[in-house]
Chains A and B, each alone.
Chain A
Amino acid sequence: MKNVKRRGYGMVFLLLLPALLIILAFYVVPAVLTGTMSLTNMDHRLSWNFVGLQNYKQMLQDTILSRVFWNTIVYVFGTLLCFNVTFGLLLALATSYIAERQGERTSMFFRALWLLPRFTPPIVYGVIWLWILDPTRNGLLNGVLDFFGGKPVSWISKYPVQVIVLTNGVIGASFGMILFYSAITSISKEYNWAAAVDGAGWLQRIRYVTLPLIRWPLMFVTAYQTLSLLTSYEYILIITGGGPFYRTTVWSLYAYNEAFGGYYASYRFGYATALTLVLVVISMVASIIYWRVFRFREMMSEPKIEVI
């Protein structure tokens, strides 16, 4: 009996080994290094001068930081609720409806359309939005306004937060859309037939059958995308650059700017990694909360027999 168990563990180890090695080398080790960096005042000399908690003390004195914190909260939950989860779900529902009634092609067209922003190099995506939001008459929105006799509006400086939520949301929605779509379409036909026979229309079917059955993907997307949003800064950097005077600077962008941003980057790697570490702690807290509230542990128990 013991032999079997040891052999079992041996095989576990073997199959897991490559994954563990790669994740260890390219994820865990850099993460630990980054954490250690936060205890130094490393700059462009890349020297490990340990200064203890000085960076963290400096954070407490940084006056901009509280504003950045609130920006981050608004941005993450705004985008999450409006786009990543809600819109993703709406898109999945809509395209699955069309797939049912009209056929694959149209549905696939819309899904491919919404995935397009994800494949696009960030800079090109930024260029497109900068055109849409251009403050002069040459932009799409202002061009339309101009056509109707209005004056151009400087969208990015007037509605910076809405802009970053919208531009990131358009990308974020596609992740949820894909996951939800496959979850919806994998609900066994029998459920749908039963509902139809009972006289339920499509809307009622969604409410009573579909949504409860895709509870898990919904929660997973919420949790995972919260973390993705907390660490995303690329598109904000390209489109608003942190906004008119820090209005759209989120925590991760602030950390990036400390490391690489500005006219002549300050290369304050020590401080930037300290900021990142705080972000990681916030993410971990969020993950734990999600873990408990959504009861992910239940997913970890005996592998369920899923509905296919």
Chain B
Amino acid sequence: MAQLKTERAQLSRFSPERLRVEARKEKSKDRALTVFIYAFLIVASLPIILGYGWLLLNSFSETLAYGVLPKGWTIKNFRFLWELPSRYYPDLWRTTWNTLLLAVGMTVIMILIATPAAYVISRMKFPGRSMMLAMTLILHSFPGVTLLISLYYVLRSLNLLNSIVGVFLVKAGLMLPLGIWIMKGFFDNVSWDVEMSGLVDGASRLQTLYKIVLPQVKPGIAAMAIFSFINGWSEYIYVITFIQKKESWTLSSYVNSIIGDFQFIDYGLLSATALFYILPVLLFFIFTQKYLMTVTVGGTKG
């Protein structure tokens, strides 16, 4: 009897009346929260929205009045697409190709090299394992620019100066530690059991890696590929320093030349070129971003 009473008391928590009132309260609380969150996001994103909006407006206008309002709508800023800004600029499409080469090259290296390395670090015990991961953090503390001179020596001795290959090898080297860490997070997520069952069934370690584990970390590989591609596409300082030949320029050197030494800036041309540079990688991100969603660095404890 007492049990029934408590049960009924508990059930009355879910009486239709009660539920309706609760639902209404939830809804208004919900709405207030939603409004607040939207407001926060919009206000916080204002500088970005306005800043890039300005860039967009600039690329389509002749000049800006009061520095803000575009005057004279024109697409002549986009003439760089079919006409060189001057004789001393390399062909735009060749430059774009170089940029693509750099980004893709770096991505391929990262995938091919970070994945097995991360697998090994995740799965196998060997001396120096945690030391290697510690190195990741430590190496990251060298500012890129001070490595410039030393990298120059290394590239020169490998005869890789002046080439895109040299640059993406350098970039890959600098980004591999992070890539390995991220991939390790993914490998950690693959349960032992699945892999163990494969091994028990007689497959070699490599076969289990290939047939069973890899498909499970596909999102991770995708995520790393995206990071690498974006990073490679935007690379600037190494290209500027190590690549002399105009034929091997990438878009970042191109945009840099348009700006010059920052005294006189043709804002229209600059904005148009910058948009041309940013757009591909932005689109790339939008189409692949659902893979980035799954990036973890391990550690959400069960």
In the complex, A touching B (Cβ < 8 A): yes
Which residues of B sit under 8 angstroms from A112, Cβ to Cβ? 282, 285-286, 289
**B154 CB within 8 Å of chain A:** yes
- Count B interface residues, CB 8 Å: 106
The distance in angstroms between the C-alpha atoms of A114 and B45, with both chains bound, is 7
Which secondary structure dominates where chain A touches chain B?
helix
Of the candidates B147, B236, B294, B300, which one forms a contact with A121 in the assembled complex, judged by CB atoms under 8 Å apart?
B236
Q: How far is the CB of A141 from chain B (nearest CB, A)?
A: 10
Instruction: Decide if A178 is an interface residue (CB 8 Å cutoff).
Output: yes
Q: Which of B218-236 touch A at CB < 8 Å?
A: 223, 230, 233-234, 236
A11-B206, A15-B120, A123-B255 known; A25 vs B141 contact (CB < 8 Å) = no
**Does chain B have a CB within 8 A of A194?**
no
Looking at B79-87, B89-97, B128-136, the stretch in contact with chain A turns out to be B128-136
Asked if B126 contacts A227 (CB within 8 A), the reply is no
A75 contacts chain B at the CB level, 8 A cutoff: no
| A residues whose Cβ falls under 8 Å from a Cβ of B | 8-9, 11-12, 15-16, 18-20, 22-23, 25-31, 33-34, 37, 42, 46, 87, 90-91, 94-95, 97-98, 101-102, 108, 110-124, 127-129, 131-132, 134, 136-140, 143, 170, 178-179, 181-183, 185-187, 201-203, 213-217, 220, 223-224, 227-228, 230-234, 252, 255-256, 259-260, 269, 272-273, 276, 279-280, 282-284, 287, 290-291, 297, 299-300, 303-308
Given pairs A179-B295, A291-B137, 14 additional interface contacts (CB within 8 A): A18-B117, A29-B150, A30-B151, A31-B147, A31-B150, A90-B40, A94-B41, A97-B33, A182-B295, A185-B293, A216-B297, A231-B141, A255-B146, A307-B301
B interface residue numbers (CB < 8 A to A): 26, 29-30, 33-34, 37-38, 40-41, 44-45, 47-52, 54-55, 64, 66-68, 109, 112-114, 116-117, 119-124, 126, 129-130, 133-134, 137-147, 149-151, 153-154, 158, 169-170, 172-174, 176-178, 180, 187-189, 191-192, 205-206, 223, 230, 233-234, 236-237, 252, 255-256, 259, 262, 265, 267, 270, 274, 277-278, 281-282, 285-286, 289, 292-302
